[in-house]
Each structure stands twice: as structure tokens, then as C-alpha cells.
């Protein structure tokens, strides 16, 4: 008898950078109120699922060894959640091809969770509307709804409430990937600590309700205007935990970028460039500066979690 090898369902999911990240006070539930502008970048993870006897995760790519393959992997939790919704066992083998830096402030784990939700909805032929998918994503993590949606969006609440932002043109980025990651909750704690112990708001950021100037700059499509308005309240906390990142930020601007910012909770440094040529020359020069583990170029905005053609 011929045995039929099941075809995998494959989904590509982008990394994110926060063009603006305003952090408010901690809430009762331990999360911080945020106002953030996300942009999805062409750097991505690829998630494939096939039916199997039991749930398993395999990770490939340079940083595979840094990623857990048990129930602490966000993709595992996404599979269990989707199985519960479908009323079945999470009997799937998940393969994650890692292109997004691990613990880099670029929503790598969130991307894998979003990708798993989309892949399993297709593989199990589940009719789940956009709103329900968004709610499932938010249950898994604050960044997961954006990984699902992509593009450019304003995030409020703990970052999970999204509205679309009008953005013109393509933005060219250079990313300096650090040797070692930072833990997101630890960076939030460091920010609270800095705010409790130092009164100067200049050092620890000011939470703004709506980054209107940035939204206007994005609508204009002028990278110079956008570069002037990049802002991250978490940056002082990440720099306090990793002072060497100051050198990385300086090196990117010296190499030709318009501006540099720490991505989310860090430690990846994201540099906005005028165009693709400038990004290539900036990346080459930054690679030689010895201030990071790896240098990548990326463009944004791109779409969120998408099935790859040929998937079932
Ligand atoms: C820093 C950002 O990447 C900016 O987009 C996100 O806020 C982090 O999102 P995430 O990694 O999906 O975070 P979650 O998995 O939801 O939460 C991890 C931990 O980060 C802290 N956290 C996260 C989001 C938020 N608005 N406030 C927080 O204080 C909490 O300690 C939480 O327990
Ligand atoms: N699928 C996954 N990919 C990478 N790390 C994962 C994954 N699932 C769980 N983790 C764990 O989560 C930690 C944070 O990894 P992740 O790459 O999601 O961080 P991040 O990109 O900084 O997150 P964010 O930007 O959403 O705050 C890692 O150190 C790792 O132990």
C-alpha cells in the first residue's frame, strides 16, 4: 500500500521594529500601558506544520540553539491554544526556520506564535474570523496581534490594540544584531527602577498619548522626517543594562544612517537609511566596526503572517 506523505503548511511572518515606543506606568496586571508605532520588516521566520503523532518543535538557523523546543516556546503554546479551539489534540510537528534575532526586541517568538495560528487554522480547515484570530493572538502575547497583521500600525493598551497607520513609500533599515539577547520583562523592570530612582524625565522617556508628528511624517513618506522622530522610552533601560550599545548606535550613524534606535526592548539596534544604496554601504561599514554579532538589511513595511504559495 502506498503511504501518503502529508504536505506541510508553511507561513512566513515578519519581524517588527517600534518607530515610537511610549511606555506608561505599570498596570495592576503587571503590564505597562503603551503607545507604539510598529512597522513590519522583511526579516522573517518561516513556520511549517505537518500532522504527527504528537506535538514537537524543530528549530533551524544560526541561532537555533538559543530557542526552546518545549512548552515554553510560544509556537507550542499557540498550537495548544488552537487545538483547544478546534477540540482536537495538538498532534503536529512544527518546524521554525529562524531569521529573526532571538531575544532581540524584534518579536521573534511572537512571529512564531502568529505563524502557528495561521498554519493550523489552514491545516485543520478552521473557519476563524479576523477578530477571533486577533483575540487568540493577544492571549499569547502583546506583540502577537501585530505579527499577525503586519504593515504599519499604532498599538495601544499593552500593545495588542491596533489601528492601521497610513504610511507611504518603502523604508530601508540596517539592523545590528547583538551577541546576547535581553529579556523583555527585565528591561521593563529596569525602566521602572530608573523612573523610581531618577527624577529626570529626559533620561527615562515621556509617555505620549499619540505620536502625531511621526504619523504625519509616515504619511509624507520622507525617511528624513521619520528618522528625526524615532523614539523609544525603553532605550535608557536597555542602555543601562548594556552600556556597550551606545557605541553600536554611534557606529551606525557614523557609517551613514540617518538615525539609530534600539528596537523595542533591545538589544538589536535599528538604523534608518535614506535609500537602499545607503543601507548597503552603511551595513558594509558597520560590519567592519566590530560592534555587533551580525548586520542585516531589511525593508518595511511588509505584510503580516502569510501562507506561502503551494501550502495545502
Ligand atoms: C517591548 C515590546 O516588544 C514593544 O512592542 C512589547 O511590549 C513586548 O511584547 P511581548 O514580548 O509580546 O510581551 P508579553 O509576552 O506580552 O509580556 C512579557 C512581559 O513583558 C512585560 N510587558 C509586556 C508588554 C507590556 N505592555 N508591558 C509589560 O510590562 C511584562 O512583564 C510581561 O510579563
Ligand atoms: N519561538 C521562539 N523563538 C524565539 N524565542 C523563543 C520562542 N519561544 C520562546 N522563546 C523564548 O523567549 C525569549 C524571548 O525571545 P524572543 O525572540 O521572542 O524575544 P524578543 O524578540 O525580544 O521579544 P519581543 O520583541 O516580542 O519582546 C527567548 O530567550 C526564548 O527563550
User: Nearest 5°: phi and psi at 171?
Assistant: -110, 140
85 and 232 housed in the same domain: no
In a domain, 16, yes or no: yes
Per DSSP, which regions of 159-309 are E strands? 161-164, 171-177, 231-232, 259-262, 269-273, 294-300, 306-307
Q: Which of 122-131, 193-202, 230-239, 262-271 has the lowest mean pLDDT?
A: 193-202
Taking CA atoms only, the protein residue closest to ligand 2 atom 24 is 107
Note the ipTM here: 0.97
**213 alpha carbon – ligand 2 mean position (Å):** 31
Catalytic residues: 16, 143
Angle made by CA atoms 291, 275, 62, in degrees to the nearest 5: 40
**Last residue of a domain, which of 166, 191, 221?**
166
In a domain, 2, yes or no: no
Does residue 181 line the site of ligand 2, with CB under 6 A?
A: yes
The answer to whether 104 is annotated as binding is yes
In a domain, 184, yes or no: yes
16 and 143 housed in the same domain: yes
43 and 150 housed in the same domain: yes
161 and 195 housed in the same domain: no
In a domain, 3, yes or no: no
pLDDT tens for residues 248-258?
Answer: 999 999 999 99
What is the domain extent for residue 265? 171-300
35 and 180 housed in the same domain: no
Residue in 191, 153, 180 with CA at minimum distance from that of residue 33:
191
Q: Which residues have CB under 8 Å from 57's CB, separation 6+?
A: 69, 70, 73, 75, 76, 93, 94, 95, 96
Q: What is the pLDDT of residue 198?
A: 76
92 and 130 housed in the same domain: yes
**Last residue of a domain, which of 145, 166, 187?**
166
Taking CA atoms only, the protein residue closest to ligand 1 atom 3 is 264
pLDDT tens for residues 221-249?
Answer: 999 999 999 999 999 999 999 999 999 99
281 and 162 housed in the same domain: no
- Helix then strand then coil, in percent of the chain rounded to 5, is 35, 30, 35
In a domain, 1, yes or no: no
Percent of the chain's residues with pLDDT above 70: 95
CATH number for the domain harbouring residue 273: 3.30.70.890
Candidate from 159, 193, 264 with most ligand 1 atoms within 8 A of CB, to mutate: 159
26 and 93 housed in the same domain: yes
Q: Which residues have CB under 8 Å from 203's CB, separation 6+?
A: 194, 236
162 and 181 housed in the same domain: no
Q: What is the pLDDT of residue 278?
A: 98
Q: Which of 17-31, 137-151, 206-220, 279-293 has the lowest mean pLDDT?
A: 206-220
**Domains: count for the chain:** 2
The answer to whether 205 is annotated as binding is no
Q: Among the atoms of ligand 1, which is closest to the Cα of residue 38?
A: 5
53 and 183 housed in the same domain: no
The answer to whether 157 is annotated as binding is no
Taking CA atoms only, the protein residue closest to ligand 2 atom 21 is 107
**142 alpha carbon – ligand 1 mean position (Å):** 6
The answer to whether 234 is annotated as binding is no
**Last residue of a domain, which of 150, 166, 182?**
166
Residue 311 banded pLDDT, cuts 50, 70, 90: low
Rounded CA separation 115/76 (Å)? 11
243 and 114 housed in the same domain: no
In a domain, 308, yes or no: no
> The pTM is what?
0.96
151 and 219 housed in the same domain: no
Amino acid at each position: 500500500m502506498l503511504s501518503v506523505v502529508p504536505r506541510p503548511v508553511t507561513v512566513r511572518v515578519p519581524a517588527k521594529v517600534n518607530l515610537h515606543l511610549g511606555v506608561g506606568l505599570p498596570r495592576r496586571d503587571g503590564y505597562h500601558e503603551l503607545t507604539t508605532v510598529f512597522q513590519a520588516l522583511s526579516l522573517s521566520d518561516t513556520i511549517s506544520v505537518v500532522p504527527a503523532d504528537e506535538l514537537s518543535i524543530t528549530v533551524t538557523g544560526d541561532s537555533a540553539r538559543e530557542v526552546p523546543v518545549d512548552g515554553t516556546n510560544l509556537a507550542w503554546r499557540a498550537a495548544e491554544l488552537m487545538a483547544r479551539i478546534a477540540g482536537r489534540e495538538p498532534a503536529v510537528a512544527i518546524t521554525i526556520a529562524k531569521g529573526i534575532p532571538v531575544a532581540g526586541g524584534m518579536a521573534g517568538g511572537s512571529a512564531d506564535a502568529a505563524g502557528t495560528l495561521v498554519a493550523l487554522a489552514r491545516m485543520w480547515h478552521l473557519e476563524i474570523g479576523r477578530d477571533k484570530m486577533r483575540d487568540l493572538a493577544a492571549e499569547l502575547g502583546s506583540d502577537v496581534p501585530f505579527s499577525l497583521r503586519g504593515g504599519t500600525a499604532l498599538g495601544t493598551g499593552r500593545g495588542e490594540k491596533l489601528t492601521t497607520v497610513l504610511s507611504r513609500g518603502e523604508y530601508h533599515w540596517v539592523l545590528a544584531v547583538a551577541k546576547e539577547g535581553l529579556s523583555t520583562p527585565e528591561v521593563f523592570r529596569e525602566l521602572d527602577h530608573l523612573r523610581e530612582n531618577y527624577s529626570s524625565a529626559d533620561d527615562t522617556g515621556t509617555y505620549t498619548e499619540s505620536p502625531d508628528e511621526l504619523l504625519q511624517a509616515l504619511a509624507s513618506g520622507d525617511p528624513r522626517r521619520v528618522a528625526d522622530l524615532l523614539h523609544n522610552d525603553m532605550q535608557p533601560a536597555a542602555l543601562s543594562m548594556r552600556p556597550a550599545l551606545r557605541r553600536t548606535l554611534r557606529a551606525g550613524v557614523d557609517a551613514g544612517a540617518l538615525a539609530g534606535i534600539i528596537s523595542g526592548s533591545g538589544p538589536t539596534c535599528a538604523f534608518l537609511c535614506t535609500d537602499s544604496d545607503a543601507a548597503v554601504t552603511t551595513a558594509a561599514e558597520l560590519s567592519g566596526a566590530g560592534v555587533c554579532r551580525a548586520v542585516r538589511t531589511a525593508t518595511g513595511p511588509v505584510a503580516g503572517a502569510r501562507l506561502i504559495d503551494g501550502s495545502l
